[in-house]
Amino acid sequence: MSDVERAPKFGDDVTSRQDEPVIVVDGAGVTLGDRTLWRDLQLSVWPGEFIAVLGPNGAGKSTLIKAILGLIPLSAGRITVLGEENLHGSSAVGYLPQRHAFDADTRIRGRDLVQLGLSGTRWGLPLPGLRRLWGGSRAAREEEQRVQDVIDLVGAIDYADRAIGELSGGEQQRLLIAQALVTRPRILLLDEPLDSLDLNSQQAVSALIHRVAEEFKVAVLLVAHDVNAILPYLDRVLYIARGQTVIGTPHEVMSEETLSHLYDTPIEVLHTRDGRIVVVGQPEGVAYHGHASHDHS
Amino acid sequence: MIIHNSFVLLLQPSWNPLETLRLLFAYHFMKNAFLAGTLIALVAGPVGYFMVLRGQSFLGHTLSRVGFAGAAGAVLFGISPVVGLLVFGSCAALGIGVLGEREGRMSVENDIAIGTVLVFSLSLGLLFIRLASSYAANVYSFLFGTILGISDHDVWVTALTASIALAILAVIARPLLFVSIDPDVAAARGVPVRLISYIFMLLLAISVAVAVQVVGVLLIFALLVTPAATAQQLTARPTLGVGLSVGLAVLVVWLGLSIAYFSGFPIGFAVTSIAFGLYLGSRAWRGWCGARLRRTNVSRVSGEE
């Protein structure tokens, strides 16, 4: 397999575990207070798969990501990540939280932000970069090279040495993706990485994520509001609404039949000539829906 | 020998640097002042750097006021003021942490918790002063610094406290940077965000307690905030930033002490003025760099067209 030739940078033994799912969600459900967000979720995510998590606001998309990370307890079922039920804090999982904008005064370089993905979990000195003063070690140089590699990969070389507070949303997002990738994870969990970006950046970042998934066999779960920027790259779609979940190919899930059944109300799915999908008739409106907190669970 | 804040006899600095140094260290209390001042700067530099990065300057400010109450209380009960500073500061840091915490992380509620502790501790300080009215001179020295009255014993206490604080900071430095920049990702990667936040608040309380000795509670920003903020204006590299912050804090203390020694100005004033001057300079420098960057960008864009 030619893919594997390029793959060894990510995941040490990619080939041996190609045939096992990296995430297995088995009958899982989450209840916050007295409200069940979703339940009976069955999902297996395979290496290199690119899956979008869609649904109205408040449906529990971010909660699913956090449950996979082990940050939120399940009320039912179980989630196995890389064969383990409690993999909290693993470097094999890259994570990008929701609406993540840095203060304009944050005086730390993008390169340092990426570096923190490697060194931020280690106790004790040296501080990032201090080793260079002592002549440098091979491990330090390898680490620097790794940071440089992901910065090149996400195309952030032009601004990686500027303070992150000065950068645009798209530039910050690329550096955050680089940070999530620097540990060479086998799973990438991205919570609305495209939302604050302009259309061009949305397409560029989507293509980048697709490339990472395909070349390095990284499984990607991406929470999104609008499916169109990622539509050409998606393997599957997980749609969460009204406490229920549907999983399938984009065309299976984004159909009038499936969505009407899910919402229990007639939904129209329009296909534009350039291949975009427009969903009309969701109870909360078309794109940016209001409050799902008084929905029908 | 205890001399508070002013010199009876002013010495003239010599053109010969060695002679000036000899004059500077002619008195034992000046040796102690330089020793303690340097130790304090070594702690205030890096701790201040993280405080500014985390946007916790208000917390540092409050802990210094709490220190005032602690010092006044210590004087009242006849124990060492440094001990009062440390005990009160640490308790206040923990109290603010508990009051300001919501769902396991710091929130907007934090500012209100800090402010509440701030006024309460000021009023406690007031009460202690009233009860111990004969110690007005001591209170004054805590408001504006007392470094010329530092005893050998105080130097040892400062050295011990500074070493402990620096050792703890060295252990948590990298996770602390991670948590300060990116708490969500740090938590997802298994960094104990809450524990580190508490440890840092304690470190801040310790640094404030030792720094109060040089500049007093009213002028604490000069050592804790200004060198760190200046360093962050000059560089966005964390290691260099911490180094610069330490260097500037030491420089500010040394220059401040020397100028005060030869001119008779209060030390707090000398230290604060130098720190202020450096900060203004760094702002101007960065503004100039930004303007130059914009100019080159404009010429590059117009050159392409």
Tokens of residue B214, six digits: 């040089």
Of the candidates B210, B222, B218, B224, the one whose C-alpha atom is nearest the C-alpha of residue B278 is B222
Chain B residues with beta carbon closer than 8 angstroms to that of A71: 187-188
Of the candidates B47, B71, B46, the one whose C-alpha atom is nearest the C-alpha of residue B59 is B47
Q: What's the angle, vertex CA B125, arms to CA B122 and CA B131, rounded to 5?
A: 145
Q: How many residues does chain B have?
A: 305
pLDDT at B243: 95
Q: What's the angle, vertex CA B52, arms to CA B46 and CA B54, rounded to 5?
A: 105
Contact A97 B172 (CB under 8 A): no
Cβ-Cβ contacts under 8 Å between A and B: the total is: 103
Give residue-wise pLDDT tens across range B40-54. Answer: 999 999 999 999 999
3-class DSSP state of A43: strand
Of the candidates B98, B97, B90, the one whose C-alpha atom is nearest the C-alpha of residue B56 is B97
pLDDT at A5: 37
pTM to 2 decimal places: 0.85
- For chain B, how long is the longest CA-to-CA vector? 77
pLDDT at B118: 87
Do A253 and A265 meet the contact criterion of CB atoms below 8 Å apart? Answer: no
Of B55, B171, B177, the CB nearest to A124: B171
Instruction: Quote the minimal CA–CA distance from B269 to chain A in Å.
Output: 28
Which residues in chain A land under pLDDT 50?
Answer: 1-16, 285-297
* Neighbouring C-alpha atoms within 13 Å toward the C-beta of B295: 6
C-alpha span between A278 and B253 (Å, rounded): 65
Find the closest chain A residue to B193 by CA distance. Answer: A121
Cα Rg of chain A (Å, integer): 20
The answer to whether residue A61 neighbours chain B at the CB level (below 8 Å) is no
The distance of Cα B202 from the centroid of its chain, to the nearest Å, equals 14
Chain A residues with beta carbon closer than 8 angstroms to that of B172: 123
Instruction: Quote the minimal CA–CA distance from B278 to chain A in Å.
Output: 18
3-class DSSP state of B296: helix
Find the closest chain A residue to B49 by CA distance. Answer: A107
Of the candidates A182, A165, A177, A221, the one whose C-alpha atom is nearest the C-alpha of residue A201 is A177
The answer to whether residue A86 neighbours chain B at the CB level (below 8 Å) is no
Contact A125 B182 (CB under 8 A): no
Of the candidates A291, A274, A231, A39, the one whose C-alpha atom is nearest the C-alpha of residue A282 is A291
DSSP string, B12-48: PPPSSHHHHHHHHTSSHHHHHHHHHHHHHHHHHHHHH
C-alpha span between A227 and A276 (Å, rounded): 9
The answer to whether residue A64 neighbours chain B at the CB level (below 8 Å) is no
Chain A residues with beta carbon closer than 8 angstroms to that of B190: 88-90, 121
- DSSP letter, residue B220: T
Find the closest chain B residue to A163 by CA distance. Answer: B236
Residues 6+ apart with CB under 8 A from B17: none
Of the candidates A150, A151, A146, A219, the one whose C-alpha atom is nearest the C-alpha of residue A186 is A219
* Parallel, antiparallel or unpaired: strands A219-223 and A236-241: unpaired
pLDDT at B79: 82
Give residue-wise pLDDT tens across range A7-37. Answer: 334 444 444 456 789 999 999 999 988 888 8
pLDDT at B10: 64
- DSSP letter, residue A127: P
pLDDT at A189: 95
C-alpha span between A91 and B81 (Å, rounded): 47
Which of A91, A111, A127, A134 is the best substitution to test chain B (most B C-beta atoms within 10 A)?
Answer: A127
Contact A97 B185 (CB under 8 A): yes
The answer to whether residue A119 neighbours chain B at the CB level (below 8 Å) is yes
Contact B174 A119 (CB under 8 A): yes
pLDDT at A247: 93
Contact A95 B188 (CB under 8 A): yes
Contact A116 B233 (CB under 8 A): no
Instruction: Quote the minimal CA–CA distance from A235 to chain B in Å.
Output: 26
Omega before A193 within 30 of 0, i.e. cis:
no
pLDDT at B137: 64
Helices (H), A217-273: 250-253, 256-263
Chain B residues with beta carbon closer than 8 angstroms to that of A33: none
Question: Can you tell me the ipTM of this complex?
Answer: 0.82
Contact A123 B175 (CB under 8 A): yes
Instruction: Quote the minimal CA–CA distance from A183 to chain B in Å.
Output: 11
Tokens 């594997």 label which residue? A4
**Blockwise average pLDDT, block size 10, chain B, 305 residues:** 48 79 86 91 94 89 86 83 85 83 56 85 86 68 76 86 94 94 90 92 89 76 91 92 96 92 87 93 88 67 45
Tokens of residue B18, six digits: 């060695």
pLDDT at A19: 76
pLDDT at B129: 82
Of the candidates A163, A106, A165, A132, the one whose C-alpha atom is nearest the C-alpha of residue B243 is A132
